[in-house]
Structure 1
Amino acid sequence: MDDHPVHQIAEVIRHVGTSDRNFYDRYYFNCHPRLAGGDEDPTGPWLIFGLGVYPNLAVTDCFVVVRHGDDHIVVRGSRALGDDRDDLRVGPFRIEVLEGLQRLRISLEPGHGDVSFDMEFTADAPAALEPRHFQRQLERVTFDTQRFVQTGAWSGSITLDGKRFDVDPDTWRGNRDRSWGVRPVGEAEPPGRRAADTDSAGFFWIYAVMRFDDFAVVSIVQEQRDGERVMGDARLIWADPARGIEWLGRVEHEITFIPGGREPSSAILRFIKPSGATTVVEATPQLGNYIGFGTGYGLEQDWRHGMWQGDEKVEAQRLKVSELDPTMKLFCPVDHVASFTLTDADGTVHHGEGLFEFAVIGPHDQYGFADYVDVTPV
């Protein structure tokens, strides 16, 4: 890449423009069979894949997590980061950019746990930049990231427990994103004074990527415990690039929780423009993938994104969703395959499906959670 005129700073490409240890550059993909009738569980594996590069930690790592029935299956790998940023391999994992912003291939060779796959993602809508994610805590910049998102279809195959699932683009959907910048990664840092900063306690998060017939809708909400917004956005992305991207308005949410926890049984999102024109989305989560368990998002202190694991390491684990620690489930986002019903400002109804990623970690005043382990009454 240093032979191309793409430099941003007076450094070679592999050196980023900050020495912050927490700089990262990541791929995320999800893949699921289409919902039957829009209101039933998918019949095949619900697969999520990620690969991250951490230049200032000299590490790259990768994971796949599959939800199928009551099974939670993880394969993860880590290696020392070399000089070639176009080398998107981690042990048996690989990403290939076949056509930028249009087609990508992901694969996991057989022989590493109970899952393998070889699949190609083909976009069905333009990639859309999301708002910059910036957050500062006691002078320290903890988040400063950029991300784009894109919906698409999948082709190829997944093998799970020796059974092959043919992945056909007519029936297998998903979305992918690319994000990069600064966010907490690697070995946990001593919090220092930040441990006493209770004003910013609480993390409320909605990330919904909805695919309808002619367009996609992406909505993001991040709030602190009192409802103060860190991020809030909703945009409609037309599949026809000539029609562009439309801002839908400010976001309001109404979550109904499953008794005894903090998982959503349903959600209503309202996108309200200054004129009062309102778009309403009813979301129904169908099947959750508990991405915090085993993948590096922070629950296990021996495997976090960007943590040094040696020159190369590959591991696999298998858990039962019904046996996951209910307290630990309160501390990680859950990625749900969901059905969506959108009623636009003119009253037209659209049906779709996609991702409903949700978390409410710590106190949150709107929903009555006063502490980290409070749950919805049974």
Structure 2
Amino acid sequence: MDDYPVHQIAEPIRHVATSDRNFYDRYYFNCHPRLATGGEPLMLIIGLGQYPNLGVTDAFAVLRRGDDHLVVRSSRALGADRSNTCVGPLRVEVIEGLKILRVVLEASPDNPALSFDLTFTAGVPATLETRHFMRDLERVTFNTQRFVQAGTWNGSITVDGERIEVTDRDWAGNRDRSWGVRPVGEAEPPGRRGDPEIVKEHCFFWIYAVMQFDEFVIVTIVQEDHDGTRVIEDATRVWRDPDRAPERLGRPEHDIVFHPGGREAAAAVLTFHAPKKGGGMEETLRVHCTPTLPNYIGVGTGYGLEEDWRHGMWQGHEVVQQQRQPVSEIEDWKKLFCPVDNLSRFEIHQDGRTLVGEGLFEFAVIGTYPRYGFHSIGDVAP
């Protein structure tokens, strides 16, 4: 890559502009059969990240199918070649930038149950999201940029020797690329951040939705503190017609219905408000969200629940592991502290029409969030 005129700082490409240990650069993909096909619902999520200041690269694939939660994860030393996007049996290939990517997981003795060879084809242009920026006691803890893209998949997935054909007509999903600073790797000493008064008010309220409809894709982001203060928000409609520019939908608001005994979303309404010309706000769009299949992306994949495997954590020069358990046996505490990537159905009722879509509704409310009755970190919905 150093042979291309793409440098941003006076360093080789493999060196980033900050020495912050938490700098990362990641791929994310999800893949699922279209809900309209009426087939068995499943959701495959794939991630691959590089951590230049930790000298590590790692990857995972997590499949939710029925009661099966199947994870393959791999890690190795990063090395000097940032264009090497292979981590053990899992690799990402950029066939045509911002349009076509191939993701492969090869079967091996370390992961005998799951393999795939899948090609993603973009259905809309890549869309740059609002920058994610946070300070925590004056330290920058988040400073990331991301673009997102919805599309279709073709290829095959093999589970326990059963080959599942994947076609662009019947399979969809989205992918993103993100990079910058966010907490990764081993936990650091908390210092003042460990003060009970600070911990008591900590909250991570998060919605990230990528909704595919026939004519457009809606991308929504909401992160709030315990008192509802917005950390980041975004709401953009990306039209499939290449001659139509992306449309900002205004401020997104949420109304969540929870499953009893936990913090998982049973249903949600997202309402978008744009400024009126004469002042005030008006409702421009309302989307009803119905989660149909939750994928517990945080369990076994490195997002922080397990002490022995976190993104960017040094595992050895090359390590590959497979983990498998019934979803019904995942511990309640893990579900409580785990963002959930829900395969979901979306409906818009507008101008006498009902538009039906599908896609990702990623949701988490971790910590105290009084609006929905979570006054302590362990509270659950009645």
Which of the five TM-score ranges fits, normalised by the shorter chain?
A: over 0.9
Paired residue type of 1:53: Q
Q: Residue by residue, what CA displacement relative to the aligned partner does 1:289-336 show, whole Å, maximum 9, x if unpaired?
A: 001110000000100000000111000010110011012211010001
Aligned to 2:380: 375
Aligned to 2:320: 314
Shift of 1:277: 3.7
Aligned to 2:368: 363
Unaligned runs of 5+ in 1: none
> SS of 1:327's equivalent?
helix
Distance in 2, Cα, partners of 1:350 & 1:306: 41
1:332 matched to 2:317? The reply is no
> SS of 1:259's equivalent?
coil
Aligned to 1:19: 19
Unaligned runs of 5+ in 2: 277-281
Distance in 1, Cα, partners of 2:199 & 2:186: 23
Paired residue type of 2:25: D
Aligned to 1:284: 290
Shift of 1:113: 3.4
1:57 matched to 2:57? The reply is no
> SS of 2:80's equivalent?
coil
Q: How does 1:197-346 map to 2 (within 5 A)?
A: 197-198=198-199, 201-275=202-276, 276-344=282-350, 346=351
Distance in 2, Cα, partners of 1:274 & 1:246: 14
Distance in 1, Cα, partners of 2:273 & 2:77: 47
Distance in 2, Cα, partners of 1:158 & 1:61: 21
Distance in 2, Cα, partners of 1:8 & 1:208: 31
Q: Cα 1:272–1:188, aligned 2, differ >3 Å: closer, same or farther?
A: same
Distance in 1, Cα, partners of 2:190 & 2:353: 50
The structure 1 residue matched to 2:70, chosen from 69, 73, 81, is 73
Whether the 8 Å CA contact 1:233–1:251 is kept in 2: the answer is yes
Shift of 1:15: 0.2
1:178 matched to 2:177? The reply is yes
Distance in 2, Cα, partners of 1:123 & 1:313: 32
Q: Residue by residue, what CA displacement relative to the aligned partner does 1:149-168 show, whole Å, maximum 9, x if unpaired?
A: 00000000000011000001
Distance in 1, Cα, partners of 2:253 & 2:120: 32
Paired residue type of 2:257: T
> SS of 1:78's equivalent?
strand
The structure 1 residue matched to 2:107, chosen from 107, 110, 117, is 110
The structure 1 residue matched to 2:355, chosen from 350, 353, 368, is 350
Shift of 1:349: 3.0
Distance in 1, Cα, partners of 2:41 & 2:74: 24
Aligned to 2:279: none
**Mean CA deviation greater in 171-180 or 108-117:** 108-117
Shift of 1:198: 4.0
Aligned to 1:5: 5
Distance in 1, Cα, partners of 2:166 & 2:180: 33
Q: Which runs of 4+ in 1 moved over 4 A?
A: none
Aligned to 2:87: 90
Paired residue type of 2:335: K
Distance in 2, Cα, partners of 1:45 & 1:11: 44
Whether the 8 Å CA contact 2:200–2:368 is kept in 1: the answer is no
Paired residue type of 2:52: P
Whether the 8 Å CA contact 2:200–2:376 is kept in 1: the answer is no
Aligned to 1:169: 168
Shift of 1:348: 4.1
> SS of 1:328's equivalent?
helix
Distance in 1, Cα, partners of 2:319 & 2:228: 41
Shift of 1:239: 1.1
Aligned length, in residue pairs: 373
**Mean CA deviation greater in 128-137 or 43-52:** 43-52
> SS of 1:313's equivalent?
strand
Shift of 1:237: 0.3
Q: Cα 1:298–1:106, aligned 2, differ >3 Å: closer, same or farther?
A: same
Paired residue type of 2:30: N
**Mean CA deviation greater in 188-197 or 100-109:** 188-197
1:126 matched to 2:125? The reply is yes
Q: Percentage identity across aligned positions?
A: 63
Paired residue type of 1:60: T
Shift of 1:235: 0.6
Distance in 1, Cα, partners of 2:199 & 2:304: 20
**Mean CA deviation greater in 112-121 or 96-105:** 112-121
> SS of 1:304's equivalent?
coil
